[in-house]
Amino acid sequence: MNSAKPASAGYNLAMKQNLAAFLKHKALNDWNLFLLVMTPTSILIGMQMASVDLSVPEDVKSMIRVSVLFSVPWLYLAFATQ
């Protein structure tokens, strides 16, 4: 019986090593990841805020909806990876 590992086993090992190296990258650790995520999110929310009249309750409600829309996927990802 042939007990040799399939060729895909070496590929899987290489992928795991590449993933481990990627996850140890400085940009994905510490406060750098927070800045990487929050900077574009804050810019998009700021652009939305500049385009609405914040003295109108419906527009404030729209702003809250947009901020939740951008925030919830990141919260879900944070809890799912715990």
pLDDT digits (tens, 9 = 90+) for 23-54: 788 777 778 878 888 898 899 889 988 999 98
Whether 43 is in a domain gets the answer: yes
Which residue range(s) make up the domain with 37?
A: 26-80
Question: Could you tell me the pLDDT band of residue 2, with boundaries at 50, 70 and 90?
Answer: low
Whether 13 is in a domain gets the answer: no
User: For position 17, what pLDDT does the model report?
Assistant: 83
**Number of domains composing the chain:** 1
Whether 14 is in a domain gets the answer: no
Whether 16 is in a domain gets the answer: no
pLDDT beyond 60 at 1: no
Distant-in-sequence, close-in-space partners of 60: CB < 8 Å, separation ≥ 6: 52, 54
CA distance 71 to 66: 9
CA distance 53 to 8: 57
Average pLDDT value over all residues in the chain = 82
Identify which has the larger pLDDT, 13 or 59.
59
Whether 45 is in a domain gets the answer: yes
